[in-house]
Amino acid sequence: MLPNVVLNQHWTGFRCTVCDRAYPVEFDSMVCAECGVDGILDVVYDYNAIGDTINREAPFPAGGTRDLWRFAPLLPMHPQKYHSAWSVGGTPLHAPQELRNKTDLPYLHLKDDTSLPSASLKDRASAMAIVDAVRRGISHIACASTGNAAASLSVLAARAGISCTIFVPASAPEAKLAQLLLHGADVIRVDGTYDDAFDLSIQEINAHNWYSRNCAYNPLLVEGKKTAALEFILQLGLKLPDVIFVPTGDGCIVSSIAKALRELFEICLIDKLPKVFGVQAEGASPLSTAWQNHANHGDMNGQEILELIPSMTPDTLADSIAVGTPRNRIKAWKRVSATGGGFVSVSDNQILEAIHLLASKAGVFAEPSGATGFAGVLKAREMGLITGEERIVVMVTGHGLKDPGAALSKVTVPEPTSL
């Protein structure tokens, strides 16, 4: 039996990112009733009330565990007790000296989420999904995924004793499929792209009344991902970085990081917003392409943003961010532009180079998508968007052993030595 779940009394409801319509906490359809699938919702809180509950000398005390529920004041709900199905978080923030020296980035930090139970940042969202499913009394969870959200759901659902169905594009790497199948997920391989898998998953979820762990669709899941940023700000002793680089596919992680910072600002724990950059692979770069093509990034409504961002057929070795139609594009665009950051894209070769540098100079083995944020730092310096002197945090979002094939192209396997 999983422990009970408690609602945050300062969670006031949802707001549509397209039309700004407000919905109460009890609203249980995942998207805006008027705008349909494009009307992704944002979770809204009473920040004044939350601010009054925060101890400014020692905000978010860890208590006995260092998991993400320490941030309960800024989350919609929390479980009453520890359980391994949802107690994740507390990952390291590295200050990698060798990598700093090698790349001449003296204030570089790596937020290393490769050490979570399923080896990607997605565990933060899956933990929230399991808690919310328990609250609603739903015992079957489903999602579409390029691989990591699925792996994460299958690991944590197995811990919770909850069943799950997962829709993956046929191209998902074998290591990721192995993880799903071994943990007992029901896997549907879709002969198409992630975007096709996503559409099919929504149909099936609605038909069977399953719980949807589609982060781009279920607004509560971004809240779990927010905790990665809340953690690194605490790890920096509330001393703000200047810029943050985040690998970006659907745009959920990047919007969650920007939302976390905005909320720390709203509750007056920080007094300005660092710039957040979403980094896409060139072969799957709708956000970055639209960003470079349009000078005016702020002051646009949801509909205008939708019209600006092209869909494309993804073509990159970074399978986790091979997304042609970023489902969270409005949220990502609005949140990133509010920080003064932006979107950039990097080539597959730059991603491979980033994997190599992270592994050899920082001891952090990232899968291609996981290394894309760091590739973005090098690209942003080339483009003159940063000088390199800034305090930088890079999100490393997924472990390299999930897709070692890509990394092998950067090394030479030695011939066996004859005895």
Binding site residues, ligand PLP, CB under 6 A: 120, 122, 146, 148-149, 247-254, 320-321, 367, 369-370, 397-398
Please report, for residues 277, 387, 390, 401, 417, the alpha-carbon distance to residue 414 in angstroms, rounded to integers and kept in the order given. Answer: 38, 39, 39, 19, 8
Closer CB to ligand PLP, 126 or 248, in the complex? 248
Largest CA distance in the chain: 73
The single-letter code of the amino acid at 34 is E
Q: How far is the CB of 18 from Zn ion (least distance, A)?
A: 4
Which residue's CB is nearer to Zn ion, number 33 or number 170?
33
Q: Give the integer Cα–Cα distance in Å for 182 and 162.
A: 15
Interaction partner, residue 32 (ligand PLP, Zn ion, none; CB < 5-8 Å by kind):
Zn ion
Piece in contact with Zn ion (CB under 5 A), picked from 8-16, 108-116, 320-328, 346-354: 8-16
Which residue lies nearer to ligand PLP by CB, 60 or 232? 232
Of 16 and 377, which has the nearer Cβ to Zn ion? 16
Distance (Å, rounded) from C-alpha 324 to C-alpha 307?
Answer: 15
- Confirm if 302 and 330 have CB atoms less than 8 A apart: yes
Residue 152, contacted partner among ligand PLP, Zn ion, none, CB below 5-8 A by kind = none
State the nearest-atom distance from the C-beta of 270 to ligand PLP, in Å: 23
* Rounded least distance, CB 113 to ligand PLP, Å: 8
- What is the smallest separation between the CB atom of 48 and ligand PLP, expressed in angstroms? 29
The stretches of 54-96 forming alpha helices (DSSP H) are none
| Alpha helix positions (H), 268-365 | 286-293, 302-308, 329-339, 348-362
Nearest-angstrom CA–CA distance, 47 and 208:
36
268: left (phi over 0), alpha (psi -120 to 50) or beta: left
Which does residue 169 touch among ligand PLP, Zn ion, none (CB within 5 to 8 A, set by kind)? none
- Report the residue number, 331 or 399, with the smaller CB distance to Zn ion: 331
Provide φ and ψ at 18, rounded to 5°.
-95, -55
Question: Does 305 contact Zn ion by CB under 5 A?
Answer: no
DSSP state of 9: T
Q: How many residues bind Zn ion (CB under 5 A)?
A: 8
Name which of 39 and 326 has its Cβ closer to Zn ion.
39
Residue 35 CA to its chain's centroid (Å): 24
CA dihedral 88, 205, 26, 257 (to 10 degrees): 40
Closest approach of ligand PLP to the CB of residue 258, in Å: 12
Complex with Zn ion: residue 39 or 89, whichever CB lies closer: 39
Indicate the SS3 state at residue 187: strand
Residue 348 touches which member of ligand PLP, Zn ion, none, C-beta under 5-8 Å by kind: none
120 contact, one of ligand PLP, Zn ion, none, CB 5-8 Å limit per kind: ligand PLP
Binding map of Zn ion across residues 19-58, x = CB under 5 A, - = no contact: x-x----------x-xx---x-------------------
Torsion-angle region of residue 36: left (phi > 0), alpha (psi -120 to 50) or beta? Answer: left
Helix, strand or coil for residue 271? coil
> Minimum Å distance from CB 283 to ligand PLP?
14
Structure tokens at 140: 């079957």
Nearer Cβ to ligand PLP (87/369)? 369
| 34 binds, options ligand PLP, Zn ion, none, Cβ within 5 to 8 A by partner type | Zn ion
State how far the Cα of 42 lies from the Cα of 50, in Å rounded to an integer.
17
Contact footprint for Zn ion (CB under 5 A): 16, 18-19, 21, 32, 34-35, 39
